[in-house]
Amino acid sequence: MTSWHRERQDALRFVASCAAGCASLSRPTACDRLEAALAQADATRARLLEAVLHEALAPAAGPAEEVVA
């Protein structure tokens, strides 16, 4: 398990424990904001990974390589 996965699991455990205590409050709490930030970071990471993979796997846009002597 990478350090990123451990950090994310720790953050999700924190959110879960915090949510239990924050459930009765009506305004957004630090837990709510942290959960939203984690979700947004996951979505951003997925979009970036998709873009990198698309770029890496896409065929070259130009003509085949030409050998100039």
Q: For residue 42, is it within any domain?
A: yes
Domain count, the chain: 1
Per-residue pLDDT, 34: 92
| pTM, full prediction | 0.47
At 58, the pLDDT band (50, 70, 90 cuts) reads confident
Domain annotation covers residue 61:
no
23 burial (CB, 10 Å; 0-12 / 13-18 / 19+) is exposed
The DSSP 8-state label assigned to residue 42 in this structure reads: H
- Is 17 among the domain residues? yes
The residue among 3 and 68 whose pLDDT is bigger is: 3
Residue 48 forms part of a structural domain: yes
Within a domain: 41: yes
Range of the structural domain that residue 20 is part of: 3-55
In a domain, 62, yes or no: no
Give residue-wise pLDDT tens across range 32-56: 999 999 999 999 999 999 999 999 9
pLDDT for res 66: 57
